[in-house]
Amino acid sequence: MADLTTRLLDIYDRLHQHYGYEAHWWPLFTDNWRWEIMLGAVLVQQTQWERVEQAVLRLHALGLVDERRAAAASLETIREAIKPVAYPNAKAPSLRHLAQYIVARYDGSTAALFDQGTPELRQELLALPHIGPETADTMLVYAGHHASFVVDAYLRRLFGRLGTIPNVDTMRYETLRQVFEDALPPDLDLSPYPHLEGNRSRLFWDYHALIVEHGIHHCLSRRPRCDETSAPRRNFTQSIKCATHCPPCQGCPLRPVCNAYQSSRIDYNLTE
């Protein structure tokens, strides 16, 4: 386990040196940041982030980045607002149900929802419609600042290519989440990373944000940009997400520790 801890921190360090601190990852546009993050966590399912931004802006224009107003809104209003994302017909009732749940049980306070222990809160979130393990952990770490590691397709793709964790592609979600949390324990020395302020939950959300950035810019699914020194910028509404690391770089920062790259040396200087 100590060896895995060292390797995970080395990967984190390489990503951090390349992309910088992802403090701007969330929230997007409003002061009601916990509820906005919860909305985004549902909306992003099988959807590009640019479309999530569009949907959040449309919800914000209608005043629905507010738990009480979202709870009282018609399904048609919510459905129309989130049309940019995939499956708006399914997500609209889930979002309204989530708002109604927070209003009924927590008097409309999303902060109160997250003010409880991580295991109990995680089970509560998983019992709600349209919230699976990945979405629950996303809400926990970003909206609640709970130390719950997010496992997603970007992570499986990246670590499958790195060769750091055997069978990462097929490992059960809960098992893989536990692998990361055990290798990055509560007593981990985070002093080399002052931007984390010794906070394990901040390590988890920053690590996940960096993995997502890497999956967007270099470690693409079909044609990774391993050697490409100027990956195309994404058209985010929040341009800060591409502000510092999208100018010409030295290519993928993980090439020296990537099994797939080292074993094949395939020229991946192509766009997806």
Mean per-residue pLDDT for 174-182? 98
Mean per-residue pLDDT for 148-155? 97
pLDDT over 60 (residue 272): no
The radius of gyration of the chain from alpha carbons, rounded to an integer in Å, stands at: 19
pLDDT over 50 (residue 215): yes
What was the pLDDT predicted at 268?
44
Going from N- to C-terminal start, the domains of the chain cover 2-22+150-264, 33-143
pLDDT band per the 50, 70, 90 thresholds, residue 270: very low
pLDDT band per the 50, 70, 90 thresholds, residue 231: low
pLDDT tens profile 13-71:
999 998 887 666 666 788 899 999 999 999 999 999 889 999 999 999 999 999 999 99
pLDDT band per the 50, 70, 90 thresholds, residue 271: very low
What's the CATH code, domain 33-143?
1.10.340.30
Mean per-residue pLDDT for 132-139? 97
Instruction: Map 31-80 to HEC letters.
Output: CCHHHHHHHHHHHCCCCCHHHHHHHHHHHHHCCCCCHHHHHHCCHHHHHH
Mean per-residue pLDDT for 218-243? 77
What percent of the chain clears pLDDT 70, i.e. is strictly above it? Answer: 89
What was the pLDDT predicted at 269?
44
Give residue 57's identity as a one-letter amino acid code. Answer: L
What was the pLDDT predicted at 220?
92
Pick from 65-74, 137-146, 213-222, 229-238: least confident: 229-238
pLDDT band per the 50, 70, 90 thresholds, residue 257: very high
Q: Is 190 helix (H, G, I), strand (E, B) or coil?
A: coil
Helices (H), the chain: 2-19, 33-43, 49-61, 67-72, 75-81, 88-106, 110-114, 118-126, 133-138, 153-162, 173-183, 200-217, 259-264
Alpha carbons within 13 angstroms on the beta-carbon side of residue 228 total: 19
Pick the CATH number of 2-22+150-264 from 1.10.1670.10, 1.20.1260.10, 1.20.1730.10, 3.20.20.70: 1.10.1670.10
For 19, the token pair is 């992309």
For 233, the token pair is 């910028």
**Triad 125, 158, 211: Cα angle to 5°:** 55
